[in-house]
Amino acid sequence: MENFIVSARKYRPKTFDTVIGQQSITSTLKNAIRNNQLAQAFLFCGPRGIGKTTCARILAKTINCENITENIEPCDKCESCTSFNQSISFNIHELDAASNNSVDDIRNLVDQVRIPPQVGKYKVYIIDEVHMLSQSAFNAFLKTLEEPPSYAKFILATTEKHKIIPTILSRCQIFDFKRISIDDIVKQLNYVAKNENISAETNALHIIAQKSDGALRDALSIFDQIVSFTGDKISYKNVIENLNVLDYDYYFKIIETILNNNIPESLLIINEIIDNGFDGQHFLIGLGEHLRNLLVCKDASTLQLLETGEDFKTKYKEQSEKCSVNFLLKALDINNNCDINYKISNNKRLHLEISIMQMCSITSPVSDEAQHTKKTAYTPPPIKKQQVMEKDTSSLKPSPKPEPEKHITDITPQIKKSSDVTPGTISIKQAFKQQNENNKKNEFHDIKEEHQKTADEFSQDQLEKTWKTYISSISEKLPSFSNAIAKNNPVLKENFVIEFKTDNKLIANDKLKISDLSGYLKKELNNYQICLVPIVATKEENNIAYTDQEKFEKMAEKNPAVKKLKEQLNLEIEF
């Protein structure tokens, strides 16, 4: 039984031209070799499984090759190439920094650098996962990396560039590897499938490519997994079953039900999806991607962003024609909000179902009618000529107006005044403003009515007696207010203006209690033109002498002879 070699190793690129999806980097490295402008240290950074270590090995193999081809590729025939292919080369050293990250490991590497190569031009050191080195190991590596021997080349590879210290970054040529596109992965999977005599559907390979998230190594690993499951035939159905991927048909179905405003059918589809073991958020992510693809199909210039098989491209184009851009944007917004709040929701299924029902209501005629009624302001019905004639004739026989009509006419101005509020919204601020205006009007009418009432004359003594009677009546209920107004007697001024002093600003500003006092005086004195004016009196300052200077000045103020005596004797006050 032969040893099985996984596809990621079996089909690993051996030349620059066979590297997938990194053409700009491979071209730069080939030009550097051609022009003899190789840097002393390289840093390859990027996500997993995209060819960093592979390019490092190809570079190391090529610069040591004795017969480099015109296309700047290794010959695979010389002693250096054959020893590299057999993994017995003494000039190329690989170090896993994840398990060899101490200072001692770096010191051993530095000691090896001092020995020149016996075969070939360069000694190449490939350090994988270099970000795992400790701080002290980085510091021990700095000097060697900055001024290595002419025959030493360092190739560092990492998935987390931000963890490498700046002093290391400044000593390297940095190459940022990008994720491999879905089309490139599908092409490579097709190539592998043909070589292995495996028939594979294009849609199935697209699902594998999407699942790999731009990593070719992951895609090849998934490919081997599917082959173990299905054998020599890879179908779309088998792939989604094995990888637990939700079928695209579900998304096409639920968009159809949403466009038809069919809430019951859409809820049944969600129930079927959940019963099949799929998580609600997994469905939300897929639905968001589906809506995005439909939006992409609306414009010919963005059609290239659709990364699916040809069969599904046709389906997307057909369904996108049924959807308006406004509908897609609103559905994407609802889907995005649901996705954000899904994890914190206590009832996740209900949260998902509400979002789908909201999508179903986007194009619903009921919702359109509701929005129309919100936007249209209230307008009274037009008066017909016949009604005018009836009013003219009815004026001969006057009849009381019915109460309901009176109520409606009272409400109408308020509705018109609130028309500046945004349609379809409730403005609390506007409601408070309207309420304050009504209160001011009522207050004005009350004041006007009071001035029209009687105003009996009363004396200062009558005022003080009534004042004391009020204080005694509230002394138990409102002790602080009664004590504050009891300190000073009120003073009667012209036009029935009553002033009273208080040393408390809170009492002077307490309109409710002052209004109650004013009402009591008006009623008891039978004068509804009384105007109560509170005056805040400043507290008298207690000028207490503390220092010797202040004591002397106080004594001199009472007895000027003391000051005269001080001046005659030329005395000084000690501080």
pLDDT reported for residue 377: 43
Query: For residue 392, is pLDDT > 60?
Result: no
pLDDT at 21 over 80: yes
**DSSP type of residue 13:** -
pLDDT, position 575: 54
* Residue 408: predicted pLDDT: 37
One fold for 7-176 and 248-371:
no
pLDDT for the residue numbered 43? 95
Say what the pLDDT of residue 458 is: 84
Report the percent of the chain where pLDDT is more than 70: 82
Residue 424 confidence (pLDDT): 43
**Spatial separation of the C-alpha atoms in residues 226 and 550, rounded to whole Å:** 101
Q: What is the mean pLDDT of residues 290-315?
A: 85
- CATH fold for the domain made of 460-536: GMP Synthetase; Chain A, domain 3 (3.30.300)
- Which H or E run contains 153? strand 152-158
More confident residue, 450 or 210: 210
Sign, Cα dihedral of 193, 195, 199, 203:
positive
pLDDT the model gives residue 471? 86
Which pLDDT band, with edges at 50, 70 and 90, does 2 fall under?
Answer: low
d(CA 560, CA 545): 17
State pLDDT tens for residues 267-300. Answer: 999 999 998 888 888 899 999 999 999 998 988 8
**CATH classification (class only), 248-371:** mainly alpha
**Mean pLDDT of all residues in 84-113:** 88
pLDDT averaged over the chain?
81
Lowest-pLDDT range, 20-34, 385-399, 530-544?
A: 385-399
Report yes or no: 115 and 108 within 8 Å, Cβ to Cβ.
no
Q: Is 156 left (phi over 0), alpha (psi -120 to 50) or beta?
A: beta
Residues paired with residue 127 on neighbouring β-strands, in sequence order: 95, 156
* CATH number, domain 7-176: 3.40.50.300
pLDDT, one tens digit per residue, over 460-472 is 888 888 888 888 8
pLDDT band at 557; cut points 50, 70, 90: confident
For residue 395, name the pLDDT band (cuts at 50, 70, 90).
very low
Residue 481: the pLDDT is: 81
**Is residue 522 scored above 70 in pLDDT?**
yes
Top-ranked range on mean pLDDT: pick from 159-163, 424-428, 570-574:
159-163
Asked if the model's pLDDT at residue 373 lies above 60, the reply is no
Residue 432: pLDDT band (50, 70, 90) is low
pLDDT in tens, 147-168: 899 899 999 999 999 999 999 9
CATH for the 182-242 domain, from 2.40.50.140, 3.20.19.10, 3.40.190.10, 1.10.8.60: 1.10.8.60
Q: Where are the domains of the chain?
A: 7-176, 182-242, 248-371, 460-536, 541-575
Query: What is the length of the chain?
Result: 575
The pLDDT value recorded for residue 52 is: 93
CA angle, 382 then 386 then 392, to 5°: 105
Q: Is 229 helix (H, G, I), strand (E, B) or coil?
A: helix
pLDDT of 206 over the 80 cut? yes
Q: So what's the pLDDT on residue 552?
A: 81
427: tokens are 């403005």
